[in-house]
């Protein structure tokens, strides 16, 4: 399921402080099962040594077009023919200019020019000072290289090595990994608009206290990432969790079940798939005190009365869009026992075509899980695996069912 496993990448480093991040990137690529051939410009070698990159990739680094190690002395041909993609990270302003002009007087730009453009994509992770990034010459060159077929992965925003703050930082290695995974993943959900709820909700008792649950949001965030990798436009409505937003995913933060319902209602009219992974609080305190409830010294404890929260999934599943078949709804069930029986009953009760069951206490906060998928045809188990792998499998199953329902 790992889109990078078995891929062979040429990782090109041009000159920039961000070269230090490329060491971590090379390590992450190797960990994901990719093989990495590093090529460095002379400027890159001012920032990091070839020794480091060779040690991390297990392959000698190339730096010159006159490298006699190649029997035919054509490193630019041999290296580019063997690659599934060429990734330049960091890609300096100067290197973008070289690409735009088709320069070929050093190995890295030479191999970019010489690569078979149809079969070996070129991806760029730019890195430079914010003024250099904003300069019309850089933007003009970027437009040119995009027009010539390069994929520009974007830049980060924040503090820069020069002390200034703004756009132009190289993406973090983990962000580049997400972009690469998305690039190489089959686009099973292309054209779909996927709306996902994730995490717990928090129901206030007073301004400093409330009721919540142990959901970490990890499964929902993993599904959001997998859906985006599969080519969908993804909106993630997240309860209070401490997780980074997957790249390319639009996130709406909410607190309570009622906030979540409102956010979902605002988005559902555009969605074609709704996946409700959130552990929504079933009840909320009937009243939330305006000020902190104080002990009055009498030893009496406050009595809490509860009212039921709206059922977001059932509300969406009963809506006109879902009933007319334009919105495919997927529910989750977090159970503690009798998983299959509960999941079947919950599917009926919620009125959804697909319900995904898991054992809540065994998965809350963990990085792995096991799922059982229940639909009208029966059930299917997805054995214990990382949440990211399960998310990819689930997305593939949803895509298969969408194809099926749409073809039918
Ligand atoms: N759900 C929802 N809104 C709620 C409660 C649940 O959208 N107020 C969604 C969850 O996101 C999940 C599914 O419904 O997709 C199942 O939720 P769960 O709480 O496990 O089921 P309940 O219907 O509350 O049943 P029970 O508490 O009896 O297990």
Residue-wise pLDDT tens digits, 113-149? 999 999 999 999 999 999 999 999 999 999 999 999 9
Closest CA to 366 of 223, 246, 219: 219
Q: How much distance in Å is there from the Cα of 194 to the middle of ligand 1?
A: 19
Looking at the structure, tell me whether residues 223 and 137 fall in a common domain.
Answer: no
When divided into structural domains, the chain yields a total of 2
Q: How much distance in Å is there from the Cα of 201 to the middle of ligand 1?
A: 12
Q: Is residue 228 part of a domain?
A: yes
Only one residue has tokens 């990211």, namely 388
CB of 257 within 6 A of ligand 1: the answer is yes
Average pLDDT of span 75-85: 94
User: What per-residue confidence (pLDDT) applies to 9?
Assistant: 98
Tell whether the model's pLDDT for residue 406 goes beyond 50. no
Question: What backbone phi and psi angles, to 5 degrees, belong to 384?
Answer: -50, 130
Q: Annotate 352-375 with DSSP letters as a single string.
A: -SEEEEEEHHHHTT-SEEEEEEEE
Average pLDDT of span 334-342: 92
User: What per-residue confidence (pLDDT) applies to 408?
Assistant: 32
Looking at the structure, tell me whether residues 385 and 237 fall in a common domain.
Answer: yes
Domain encompassing residue 130:
8-184
CB of 75 within 6 A of ligand 1: the answer is no
Looking at the structure, tell me whether residues 147 and 60 fall in a common domain.
Answer: yes
Nearest CA to ligand 1 atom 4: 311
Instruction: Return d(Cα 136, Cα 140) in angstroms, integer.
Output: 6
- Of 184, 209, 244, the position where a domain reaches its end is 184
Q: What is the pLDDT of residues 284-316, one digit of tens each?
A: 999 999 999 998 888 889 899 999 999 999 999
- Of 184, 207, 232, the position where a domain reaches its end is 184
- Of 184, 207, 228, the position where a domain reaches its end is 184
Average pLDDT of span 371-377: 95
Looking at the structure, tell me whether residues 254 and 164 fall in a common domain.
Answer: no
Q: What is the pLDDT of residues 7-50, one digit of tens each?
A: 999 999 999 999 999 999 999 999 999 999 999 999 999 999 99
CA dihedral 251, 175, 248, 310 (to 10 degrees): -30
Tell whether the model's pLDDT for residue 86 goes beyond 60. yes
**pLDDT band for position 405 (cuts 50, 70, 90):** very low
CB of 282 within 6 A of ligand 1: the answer is yes
User: What per-residue confidence (pLDDT) applies to 363?
Assistant: 81
Average pLDDT, the chain: 95
Q: Is residue 298 part of a domain?
A: no
Question: How many CB atoms neighbour CB 369 within 10 A?
Answer: 22
User: What per-residue confidence (pLDDT) applies to 2?
Assistant: 85
Looking at the structure, tell me whether residues 263 and 163 fall in a common domain.
Answer: no
Closest CA to 358 of 238, 240, 219, 223: 219
DSSP structure class, residue 172:
P
Tell whether the model's pLDDT for residue 323 goes beyond 50. yes
User: What per-residue confidence (pLDDT) applies to 379?
Assistant: 96
Looking at the structure, tell me whether residues 198 and 167 fall in a common domain.
Answer: no
Q: Is residue 297 part of a domain?
A: no
Tell whether the model's pLDDT for residue 1 goes beyond 80. no
**pLDDT band for position 404 (cuts 50, 70, 90):** very low
Beta bridge partners of 38: 11
Residue 383 sits in a domain whose CATH number is 3.40.50.10300
Q: How much distance in Å is there from the Cα of 400 to the middle of ligand 1?
A: 25
Token digits for 285? 């305190």
Q: How much distance in Å is there from the Cα of 393 to the middle of ligand 1?
A: 22
Instruction: Return d(Cα 395, Cα 392) in angstroms, integer.
Output: 5
Instruction: Return d(Cα 302, Cα 167) in angstroms, integer.
Output: 52
pTM of the predicted model as reported, rounded to 2 decimal places: 0.92
Residue 113 sits in a domain whose CATH number is 3.40.50.1950
Task: Identify the residue with better confidence: 404 or 104.
Answer: 104
Nearest CA to ligand 1 atom 23: 346
Q: Is residue 294 part of a domain?
A: no
User: What per-residue confidence (pLDDT) applies to 407?
Assistant: 35
Instruction: Return d(Cα 235, Cα 173) in angstroms, integer.
Output: 24
Q: Is residue 280 part of a domain?
A: yes
Tell whether the model's pLDDT for residue 67 goes beyond 60. yes
Looking at the structure, tell me whether residues 159 and 198 fall in a common domain.
Answer: no
Q: Is residue 125 part of a domain?
A: yes
User: What per-residue confidence (pLDDT) applies to 365?
Assistant: 79
User: What per-residue confidence (pLDDT) applies to 143?
Assistant: 98
Element (H, E) at 307: strand 306-308
Q: Is residue 269 part of a domain?
A: yes
Looking at the structure, tell me whether residues 126 and 27 fall in a common domain.
Answer: yes
Active-site residues, by number, are 162
Looking at the structure, tell me whether residues 266 and 336 fall in a common domain.
Answer: yes
Looking at the structure, tell me whether residues 257 and 377 fall in a common domain.
Answer: yes
CB of 343 within 6 A of ligand 1: the answer is no
Looking at the structure, tell me whether residues 165 and 309 fall in a common domain.
Answer: no
Instruction: Return d(Cα 366, Cα 216) in angstroms, integer.
Output: 8
Closest CA to 263 of 233, 281, 228, 239: 239
Percent of the chain scored above 70 by pLDDT? Answer: 99
CB of 274 within 6 A of ligand 1: the answer is no
Q: Is residue 136 part of a domain?
A: yes
Instruction: Return d(Cα 89, Cα 176) in angstroms, integer.
Output: 9
Q: What is the pLDDT of residues 196-245, one digit of tens each?
A: 999 999 999 999 999 999 899 999 999 999 999 999 999 999 999 999 99
Question: How many CB atoms neighbour CB 52 within 10 A?
Answer: 16
Looking at the structure, tell me whether residues 328 and 400 fall in a common domain.
Answer: yes
Instruction: Return d(Cα 233, Cα 248) in angstroms, integer.
Output: 8
Q: What is the pLDDT of residues 233-259, one digit of tens each?
A: 999 999 999 999 999 999 999 999 999
């Amino acid at each position: 399921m790992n889109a990078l496993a078995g891929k062979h990448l040429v990782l090109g480093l041009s000159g920039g402080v961000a070269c230090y991040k490329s060491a971590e990137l090379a390590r992450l690529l190797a960990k994901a099962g990719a093989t990495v051939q590093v090529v460095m410009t002379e400027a890159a070698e001012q920032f990091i040594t070839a020794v480091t990159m060779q040690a991390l990739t297990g392959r000698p680094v190339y730096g010159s077009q006159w490298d006699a190690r190649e029997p035919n002395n054509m490193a630019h041909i041999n290296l580019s023919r063997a690659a599934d993609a060429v990734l330049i990270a960091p890609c300096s302003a100067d290197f973008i200019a070289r690409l735009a002009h088709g320069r070929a007087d050093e190995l890295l730009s030479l191999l970019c020019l010489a690569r078979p453009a149809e079969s070996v994509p070129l991806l760029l992770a730019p890195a430079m000072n914010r003024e250099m990034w904003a300069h019309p010459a850089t933007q003009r060159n970027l437009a040119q290289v995009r027009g010539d077929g390069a994929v520009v992965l974007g830049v980060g925003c924040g503090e820069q090595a020069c002390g200034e703050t703004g756009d132009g930082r190289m993406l973090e290695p983990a962000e580049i990994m997400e972009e690469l995974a998305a690039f190489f993943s089959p686009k099973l959900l292309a054209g779909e608009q996927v709306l996902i709820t994730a995490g717990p909700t928090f129901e206030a008792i007073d301004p400093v206290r409330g009721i919540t649950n142990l959901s970490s949001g990890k499964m929902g965030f993993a599904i959001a990432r997998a859906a985006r990798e599969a080519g969908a436009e993804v909106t993630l409505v997240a309860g209070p969790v401490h997780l980074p937003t997957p790249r390319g995913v639009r996130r709406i933060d909410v607190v309570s079940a009622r906030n979540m319902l409102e956010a979902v209602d605002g988005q559902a009219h555009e969605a074609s798939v709704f996946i409700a992974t959130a552990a929504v609080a079933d009840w909320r305190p009937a009243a939330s005190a305006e000020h902190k409830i104080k002990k009055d010294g009498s030893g009496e404890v406050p009595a809490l009365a509860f009212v039921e929260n709206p059922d977001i999934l059932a509300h969406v599943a009963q809506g006109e869009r879902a009933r007319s078949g334009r919105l495919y709804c997927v529910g989750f069930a977090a159970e503690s026992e009798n998983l299959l029986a509960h999941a079947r009953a919950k599917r009926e009760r919620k009125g959804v075509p697909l319900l995904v069951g898991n054992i809540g206490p065994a998965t809350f906060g963990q990085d792995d899980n096991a799922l059982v998928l229940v639909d009208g045809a029966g059930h299917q188990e997805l054995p214990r695996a990382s949440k990211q792998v399960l998310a990819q499998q689930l997305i593939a199953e949803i895509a298969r069912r969408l194809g099926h329902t749409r073809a039918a």
